[in-house]
């Protein structure tokens, strides 16, 4: 594909992927703010416990086949049908596993209500399996417009369902209703809009080909998701569901600016860079640009969020959640490097090095045992601080192994994103200092947002870094078109 055409398709994909997150995840986030005022940290903690298992099971259901098919340039309908049947069969098995194991889960966490909650929430695993192929087809085509429509509709209606159930006094079941209705509606919309239908043609050759690449991605995903959820297990078991609720809420705020942004970039950059896998010069140039642009936005958002965390939490969800503020600040510092992990691992997938991907996941999880032990024996904040340092080590490993392929060393990567980090740290210092002003939090929050935005834009306009000019070149035509229409 010509470079200019690929760039236009990629930019369009980023735009719609961004819209997907802003509309879909944004609506879910806003609904979460309403629900946080109607529900307690304990009820959020209960749903957090259930999502430990749902998240891991969803990773198993995918089986690494979606990554294999996105990377494959000549995927056939037989491949998609094989993937669909495998996903569905695995999801049904895991649903029954969760159904019969639910009493043991309830006993482990010493909350009897988890039995019924787990059994009902298990349906989400099957519903997710029915949407994986649809999502893969759309991602491979860089058709994020269709995914955005499905996400918007499902998020909006499920949000209404959750809020209505909470107002009616259903408690934690309001969160269950929201989760199930969102996945159900998203799956239905994808089937209607994409119009890919299985013919149930299973191919053992196709399975073997996808499995050869996919099983390593599956193992890596299971290790990563399981390890991520272990933090929740430790908090839920060693502390209380209420503490887990505070931790979960803090993570949800941080995810808006870190994981969601990373997901936007990954969804578009992986298929786009896969098209360039045989042209290393263009691949490196595209990869450098992705890292510089992504980290400018990520550092600014994450450290801005950390700087105004207290006023943001109090204004948006109330004083009853103020204990999650220090958790959110530490998590922001830890997760601001998350896109670097993901992008370097993305490059290993583009190279087809799923074996190295798996090896790195095992090494990093062995390193991550330290923070978990700190959470068990010392305290939750030491666990979060420990995660920050293990995150830095994980980035070093990812970049060390992905760099040689493109001759893009760790030192070169650091030099590319360091100016953005220094600017964001300066902004954080200003916003954090402002939190000590004698102002009402409702008045302080907009002032902090305006000051942080003004500082960042001023520095960028003076320095004019390449990544800022790239963002500006994409954003300004869109803004001008909106102004002309008005």
Q: Please, are residues 48 and 118 in contact by the beta-carbon 8 Å criterion?
A: no
According to the model, what pLDDT value does residue 329 have?
Answer: 92
According to the model, what pLDDT value does residue 253 have?
Answer: 83
User: Two tokens at 482?
Assistant: 């909106």
Q: In terms of domains, do 365 and 423 share one? A: yes
Which residue, 211, 238, 265, sits at the end of a domain? 238
According to the model, what pLDDT value does residue 359 have?
Answer: 79
* Percentage of the residues of the chain whose pLDDT score is greater than 70: 83
Q: In terms of domains, do 332 and 431 share one? A: yes
- Coil/strand/helix, residue 379: coil
Which position has the token pair 């993937």? 83
Please measure the distance between the N-terminal and C-terminal CA atoms of the chain and give it in whole angstroms. 36
Number of domains in the chain: 2
Q: In terms of domains, do 287 and 203 share one? A: no
Q: What is the mean pLDDT of the chain?
A: 81
Asked whether residue 218 is assigned to any structural domain, the reply reads yes
Rounded distance between C-alpha atoms, residue 296 and residue 288, angstroms: 12
Asked whether residue 397 is assigned to any structural domain, the reply reads yes
Q: In terms of domains, do 67 and 152 share one? A: yes
Q: Please, are residues 250 and 225 in contact by the beta-carbon 8 Å criterion?
A: no
Q: In terms of domains, do 325 and 427 share one? A: yes
According to the model, what pLDDT value does residue 180 have?
Answer: 95
Q: Please, are residues 318 and 452 in contact by the beta-carbon 8 Å criterion?
A: no
- Under the banding of pLDDT at 50, 70 and 90, the label for residue 455 is very high
According to the model, what pLDDT value does residue 386 have?
Answer: 87
Q: Please, are residues 419 and 463 in contact by the beta-carbon 8 Å criterion?
A: yes
Asked whether residue 431 is assigned to any structural domain, the reply reads yes
Does position 439 have pLDDT exceeding 70, yes or no?
yes
Does position 330 have pLDDT exceeding 70, yes or no?
yes
Asked whether residue 72 is assigned to any structural domain, the reply reads yes
Asked whether residue 372 is assigned to any structural domain, the reply reads yes
- Residue-wise pLDDT for 398-420, tens only, equals 888 777 766 778 888 889 889 99
Does position 220 have pLDDT exceeding 50, yes or no?
yes
- Residue-wise pLDDT for 333-359, tens only, equals 988 888 887 777 777 766 666 677 777
Q: In terms of domains, do 225 and 285 share one? A: no
Mean pLDDT of 130-137: 87
Q: Which residue has the higher pLDDT, 437 or 11?
A: 437
According to the model, what pLDDT value does residue 77 have?
Answer: 82
Question: Which residue range forms the structural domain that includes residue 31?
Answer: 1-238
Q: In terms of domains, do 442 and 295 share one? A: yes
- Under the banding of pLDDT at 50, 70 and 90, the label for residue 364 is confident
According to the model, what pLDDT value does residue 277 have?
Answer: 57
Q: In terms of domains, do 229 and 290 share one? A: no
Asked whether residue 197 is assigned to any structural domain, the reply reads yes
According to the model, what pLDDT value does residue 26 have?
Answer: 65
Mean pLDDT of 447-476: 86
Which position has the token pair 């482990």? 108
* Percentage of the residues of the chain whose pLDDT score is greater than 90: 23
Asked whether residue 268 is assigned to any structural domain, the reply reads no
Mean pLDDT of 249-260: 77
Does position 311 have pLDDT exceeding 80, yes or no?
yes
- Under the banding of pLDDT at 50, 70 and 90, the label for residue 6 is very low
Mean pLDDT of 107-132: 91
- Residue-wise pLDDT for 261-299, tens only, equals 666 665 555 555 555 555 667 777 777 888 888 888 889
Q: In terms of domains, do 321 and 187 share one? A: no
Q: In terms of domains, do 302 and 431 share one? A: yes
Q: Which residue has the higher pLDDT, 352 or 444?
A: 444
- Under the banding of pLDDT at 50, 70 and 90, the label for residue 3 is very low
- Residue-wise pLDDT for 157-214, tens only, equals 998 999 999 989 888 899 999 999 999 999 999 999 988 888 878 888 888 877 776 6
Mean pLDDT of 295-312: 91
Q: Which residue has the higher pLDDT, 20 or 459?
A: 459
pTM exceeds cut of 0.75: no
Does position 217 have pLDDT exceeding 90, yes or no?
no
Other CB atoms within a 10 A radius of the CB of residue 484 amount to 7
Mean pLDDT of 366-395: 84
- Mention every residue, 6+ apart, whose C-beta is less than 8 A from residue 177: 158, 161, 162, 165, 170
Q: Please, are residues 391 and 242 in contact by the beta-carbon 8 Å criterion?
A: no
According to the model, what pLDDT value does residue 4 have?
Answer: 47
Q: Please, are residues 116 and 46 in contact by the beta-carbon 8 Å criterion?
A: no
User: Two tokens at 355?
Assistant: 């074996």
Q: In terms of domains, do 299 and 362 share one? A: yes
Does position 374 have pLDDT exceeding 80, yes or no?
yes
Does position 36 have pLDDT exceeding 70, yes or no?
yes
According to the model, what pLDDT value does residue 387 have?
Answer: 85
On the CB side of 409, CA atoms within 13 Å amount to 3
On the CB side of 262, CA atoms within 13 Å amount to 19
Which residue, 173, 207, 238, sits at the end of a domain? 238
User: Two tokens at 210?
Assistant: 């996808």
Asked whether residue 188 is assigned to any structural domain, the reply reads yes
According to the model, what pLDDT value does residue 484 have?
Answer: 63
Mean pLDDT of 114-138: 91
Which position has the token pair 């670097």? 340
According to the model, what pLDDT value does residue 272 have?
Answer: 57
According to the model, what pLDDT value does residue 349 have?
Answer: 67
Q: Which residue has the higher pLDDT, 471 or 118?
A: 118
Q: In terms of domains, do 206 and 311 share one? A: no
Which residue, 208, 238, 268, sits at the end of a domain? 238
């Amino acid at each position: 594909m010509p470079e200019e055409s690929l760039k236009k398709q990629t930019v369009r994909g980023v735009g719609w992927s961004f819209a997907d997150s802003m509309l879909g995840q944004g609506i879910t986030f806003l609904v979460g703010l309403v629900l946080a005022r109607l529900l307690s940290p304990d009820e959020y903690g209960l749903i957090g416990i259930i999502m430990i298992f749902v998240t891991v099971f969803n990773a198993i259901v995918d089986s690494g086949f979606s990554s294999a098919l996105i990377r494959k340039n000549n995927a056939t309908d037989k491949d998609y049908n094989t993937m669909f049947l495998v996903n569905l069969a695995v999801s049904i098995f895991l649903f029954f596993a969760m159904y019969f194991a639910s009493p043991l889960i309830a006993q482990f966490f010493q909350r009897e209500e988890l039995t019924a909650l787990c059994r009902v929430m298990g349906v989400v695993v099957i519903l997710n399996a029915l949407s994986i192929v649809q999502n893969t087809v759309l991602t491979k085509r860089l058709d994020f417009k269709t995914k955005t429509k499905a996400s918007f509709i499902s998020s909006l209606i499920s949000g209404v369902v959750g809020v209505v159930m909470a107002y009616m006094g259903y408690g934690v079941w309001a969160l269950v209703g929201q989760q199930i209705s969102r996945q159900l509606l998203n799956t239905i919309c994808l089937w209607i809009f994409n119009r890919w239908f299985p013919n149930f043609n299973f191919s053992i050759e196709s399975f073997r080909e996808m499995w050869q690449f996919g099983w390593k991605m599956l193992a890596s995903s299971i290790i990563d998701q399981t390890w991520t959820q272990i933090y929740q297990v430790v908090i839920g078991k060693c502390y209380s569901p209420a503490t887990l609720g505070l931790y979960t809420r803090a993570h949800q705020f941080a995810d808006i600016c870190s994981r969601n942004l990373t997901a936007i970039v990954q969804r578009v950059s992986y298929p786009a860079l896969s098209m360039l896998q045989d042209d290393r010069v263009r691949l490196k140039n595209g990869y450098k640009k992705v890292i510089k642009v992504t980290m400018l936005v990520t550092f600014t958002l994450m450290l801005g969020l950390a700087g105004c965390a207290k006023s943001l939490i109090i204004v948006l969800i109330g004083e009853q959640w103020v204990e999650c503020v220090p958790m959110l600040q530490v998590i922001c510092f830890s997760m601001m490097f998350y896109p670097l992990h993901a992008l370097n691992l993305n490059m290993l997938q583009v190279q087809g090095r799923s074996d190295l991907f798996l090896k790195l996941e095992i090494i990093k999880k062995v390193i991550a045992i330290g923070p978990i032990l700190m959470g068990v024996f010392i305290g939750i904040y030491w666990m979060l601080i420990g995660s920050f340092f293990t995150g830095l080590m994980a980035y070093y490993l990812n970049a060390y192994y992905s760099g040689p392929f493109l001759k893009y060393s760790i030192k070169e990567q650091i030099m590319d994103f360091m100016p953005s980090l220094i600017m964001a740290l300066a902004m954080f210092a200003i916003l954090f200092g402002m939190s000590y002003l004698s102002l009402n939090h409702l008045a302080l929050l907009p002032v902090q947002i305006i000051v942080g935005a003004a500082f960042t834009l001023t520095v960028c306009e003076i320095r004019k870094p390449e990544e800022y000019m790239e963002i500006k070149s994409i954003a300004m035509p869109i803004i001008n078109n909106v102004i002309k229409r008005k």
